[in-house]
Structure 1
Amino acid sequence: MAGIMRERFVDVSTQLLDTHDRLAVLTADLTSALFDGARERHPDRVLNFGIREQLLISAAGGLALAGMRPIAHSFAPFLIERPFEQIKLDLNHQAVGAVLVSAGASYDISSSGRTHQSPGDVALLSTLPDWTIDVPGHADEAEAQLREAADGDGLVYLRLSNQSNAHAHGIADGRLHRGFRTLRQGTAAVVIAVGPLADAVLAATEGLDVTVLYAATVRPFDAVALRAAVADQREPAVVLVEPYLAGTSVPEVADALGDLSHRVLGLGVGRDELRNYGSPRQHAIAHGLDSAGLRRAVVGFLGQK
């Protein structure tokens, strides 16, 4: 399963380069070799900048100013955290669009240590306006989101992961479903499952009287769907299950339900650093993001047995 989303990204981007004259792919060594064929056909639109991620983003901004549609790619900590100043100034401040495609997610590359972990990327990017943030839970969703981003002009962050759901919950009738999608209905609470954690959430909430909403896009946040889901609850209870920093979207829930008395629990990657390397599966368990840990948290929050 490892790398399936990234492989799909390479395949689809290579196809798009042949049909979209404005498109350019920028890498920082990561995955660069997989674009060798595309680079031979489009040497002026497939560019590798080495391990110089600040330059990667600045070059993306320059290409966008020149009318190109840049797709920049690296591991999440090197694509979002390291060059954040360039994202803020060379993309947002210049009012240009770009597509940033990361790999590694929060701890997919846990064996490489803290330098390759980025649970705070979505929270950090959420401090800037105008970003669409896609967190696909399946390669089919990632492909649909990438194709849509390539055709657009805005700012898009596509967060790829080695983790995957068994099915593409965000694809309905062969088309990408942009808003929250209802996977299960109940009355006691609403659980929002983001991206690759949907299957774990479904397993964790089996037999519980809860609605499960699925989100493959977290910015913009689908406040309309959330309000509709809690409409019959006297005091809405919302559980957010996100594959990055716990509580990242709690302010979005607060804004959506600001006129209602409500409770919210934000589950995700904890703030405390896990200093043992471990496997991604061990990290998920340690953060309570496996099905057993999620069930304990949800049941405790709802006060159910």
Structure 2
Amino acid sequence: MLLSGDIGNRLFDKLRVQSPRQFMNCGVAEANMMGVAAGMGLCGLRPIVYTITPFTTTRCLEQIRVDVAYHESPVIIVGTGSGLSYASLGPTHHSLEDFAIFRAIPNLQILAPWDAPSLRSLLRQAMLSDKPTYMRIGKKGEKDIAPLEQVPAIGEGLRLREGSDVCIVAVGTVANEALTAAEQLAARGITAEVVLAHTVKPLPKALFEDITARFAAIVTVEEHSRTGGFGESLLAFTASRGLQRQIETLGTGDEFMPVVGSQGYARRYFGIDAARVAEAAQRVANRH
């Protein structure tokens, strides 16, 4: 069952015509939509809630916390246009705190696909897991990174490029920035491994154990605040194990973006574009 806010596009026109009983346009009433979805999940249905990320997350946070997560209703919450996808519309349409908020809510798993094949795979995995799930996706046009059969299971990462000097871990739709950064580093004689991560919660312990065992220099990059994000969870993991590693976490700062521009411009503003990823990777590689 798909529930959508009234976001005005024609993405679901075919579904609405072919399967009208499986589609519900809940209008600009996202909190109510989340409560309806939670009830459906507790009645044996498998609801998927879809709308622009700020409006399917922070606008209905109480319903997600109490109706969905507390009751473990198997709702899949899909936030589209995440991160800085809607940079040109200003901070009301940015979603840079969703990982941090949802990491603190029990029973809720958090997934961040990097392209269409990973979205397809993770949606199937989430359906099979029968758990409340938040899925954070881009807007559209993200370049496909890897075929469907290479998408790893929830909690695992995809080693996309091998290297020995530094490891770059990219979360979600910033995957291309990490790959471009690795190419720039190769031109400078630095070999960077690129690992793509799509699981923010549950904590990807096996992935963290692997990269911290093989690398002393690590950079994480995410289109999310550095506070409460994926990188911070890696720092907490290494601290809990008493590991001494050179780690830089790249993300947005403690500010609302004061100007508007394209997504690429916004990434440059916050220092999460390929050039800044390469600079950070070179710094940590030179430290150890």
TM-score of the pair, normalised by structure 2: 0.87
C-alpha change, 1:43 and 1:163, in structure 2 (3 Å) is closer
| CA shift digits 1:54-81 (9 cap, x unpaired) | 1011001111111111000111100111
Does 2:217 correspond to 1:242? no
**Aligned residue type for 1:245:** S
How many percent identity over aligned positions?
26
**Aligned residue type for 1:63:** M
Say if 2:90 and 2:257, in contact at 8 Å, map to a contact too: no
In 1: Cα distance, 2:116 partner to 2:214 partner: 34
Aligned mate of 1:189, from 166, 169, 191: 166
C-alpha change, 1:154 and 1:201, in structure 2 (3 Å) is same
Matches within 5 A, 1:189-208: 189-205=166-182, 206-207=185-186, 208=190
Task: Quote the residue 2:247 is aligned against.
Answer: 264
C-alpha change, 1:166 and 1:110, in structure 2 (3 Å) is closer
Aligned mate of 1:110, from 64, 78, 87: 87
Task: Quote the residue 2:204 is aligned against.
Answer: 222
Task: Quote the residue 1:15 is aligned against.
Answer: none
Aligned mate of 2:234, from 228, 236, 253: 253
Q: Structure 1 residue runs of 4+, over 6 Å off?
A: none
Say if 2:72 and 2:131, in contact at 8 Å, map to a contact too: no
C-alpha change, 1:107 and 1:250, in structure 2 (3 Å) is closer
Say if 1:138 and 1:167, in contact at 8 Å, map to a contact too: yes
Say if 1:27 and 1:72, in contact at 8 Å, map to a contact too: yes
Task: Quote the residue 2:30 is aligned against.
Answer: 53
**Aligned residue type for 1:49:** C
In 1: Cα distance, 2:157 partner to 2:142 partner: 16
Say if 2:116 and 2:144, in contact at 8 Å, map to a contact too: no
Task: Quote the residue 1:44 is aligned against.
Answer: 21
Task: Quote the residue 2:102 is aligned against.
Answer: 125
Matches within 5 A, 1:1-305: 24-30=1-7, 33-162=10-139, 166-169=143-146, 171=147, 174-178=149-153, 179-205=156-182, 206-207=185-186, 208-233=190-215, 236-247=216-227, 248-257=229-238, 258-259=240-241, 260-303=243-286
In 1: Cα distance, 2:19 partner to 2:140 partner: 31
In 1: Cα distance, 2:15 partner to 2:192 partner: 47
Say if 2:69 and 2:108, in contact at 8 Å, map to a contact too: no
Task: Quote the residue 1:16 is aligned against.
Answer: none
RMSD value over aligned CA atoms?
A: 2.2
Specify the SS of the correspondent of 2:176: helix
Q: Higher helix share goes to which structure?
A: 2
Task: Quote the residue 1:4 is aligned against.
Answer: none
C-alpha change, 1:119 and 1:76, in structure 2 (3 Å) is same
Using the TM superposition, give the Cα deviation of residue 49 of structure 1 relative to its aligned residue in structure 2, in angstroms.
1.2
| CA shift digits 1:153-190 (9 cap, x unpaired) | 11122211136664433x47x25312112223334432
**Aligned residue type for 1:190:** C
In 2: Cα distance, 1:249 partner to 1:61 partner: 27
Structure 2: runs of 5 or more not aligned: none
In 2: Cα distance, 1:118 partner to 1:83 partner: 14
C-alpha change, 1:250 and 1:138, in structure 2 (3 Å) is closer
In 2: Cα distance, 1:105 partner to 1:52 partner: 19
In 2: Cα distance, 1:104 partner to 1:165 partner: 11
Say if 1:193 and 1:214, in contact at 8 Å, map to a contact too: yes
In 2: Cα distance, 1:95 partner to 1:88 partner: 10
Specify the SS of the correspondent of 1:261: coil
C-alpha change, 1:299 and 1:164, in structure 2 (3 Å) is farther
TM-score of the pair, normalised by structure 1: 0.82
C-alpha change, 1:86 and 1:296, in structure 2 (3 Å) is same
In 1: Cα distance, 2:253 partner to 2:263 partner: 14
